[in-house]
C-alpha cells in the first residue's frame, strides 16, 4: 500500500472523436540522490522513470520523468477516443518497480 499505488481516472463514457482527459496520481517519494545530513551517507535516488499510456494495447504517450518531478505526482494527458476500450498505464521506477493500472471507457 505504499510506493507505486496509483489512481487512474478517465470519464466512464465519451462520444466518438471526443478528446478526454486521463488523470493519474501515483504515490512515490520522487527523491534525487542525496547525502544524509547527519551521517554523511549517500542515499540513492528513488524516482519514477517512465510512464506509458496505452489504449487498447497501442502505445499513445510516454512520459519520461526524473527526480525533478515532485512527490506523489499528479499527471493528466489528453486522449482522443474513436472506439470503446481499455486505458492502461504502465509505469516503472529506477529501483526496478513496475506497476500498471487499467480503466475502461465506453464510447458511443
Partner 1 sequence: MKKKLLLGVFTAGAIAGGLLSTKAFAQVEGEISPEEEMRLVQEFNKMLAEGVNPGEIWYEVGKEAIKKYHLDKCDLGLGPGVFKGAAAQLPRYFADAGKVMDLETRVGWCLQKYAGMTQDQVLKFVRQCWGKSGNCMSEYDGIIMYLTMESNGHKINVNLKDPHVKKMFEMGKQVYYTRLGPWDFNCATCHAGKKEVRIRATRLWSADRPGEAGGAVSIFPKYLVRWGMPMSMHYRYAECIRQMRWPEFIPHSDLGVALSTYMYGLANGTEIKAPGIGR
Q: Which residues bind partner 1 (CB under 8 A)?
A: 1-2, 5-7, 9, 23-25, 27, 29, 31, 65, 68-76
Q: How near is the Cβ of 9 to partner 1 at its closest, in Å? A: 5
Q: Which is nearer to partner 1, 72 or 83 (CB)?
A: 72
Q: Within 10 Å of residue 34's Cβ, how many Cβ atoms?
A: 11
Q: Which is nearer to partner 1, 54 or 65 (CB)?
A: 65
Q: Which of 79, 75, 48 is nearest to 61 (CA)?
A: 79
Name the phi and psi angles at 19, rounded to 5. -95, 115
Amino acid at each position: 500500500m505504499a510506493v507505486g499505488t496509483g489512481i487512474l481516472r478517465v470519464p466512464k463514457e465519451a462520444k466518438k472523436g471526443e478528446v478526454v482527459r486521463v488523470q493519474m496520481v501515483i504515490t512515490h517519494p520522487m527523491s534525487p540522490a542525496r547525502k544524509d545530513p547527519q551521517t554523511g551517507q549517500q542515499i540513492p535516488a528513488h524516482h519514477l522513470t517512465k510512464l506509458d499510456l496505452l489504449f487498447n494495447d497501442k502505445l499513445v504517450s510516454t512520459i519520461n520523468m526524473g527526480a525533478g518531478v515532485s512527490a506523489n505526482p499528479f499527471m493528466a494527458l489528453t486522449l482522443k477516443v474513436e472506439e470503446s476500450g481499455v486505458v492502461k498505464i504502465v509505469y516503472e521506477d529506477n529501483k526496478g518497480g513496475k506497476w500498471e493500472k487499467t480503466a475502461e471507457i465506453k464510447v458511443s
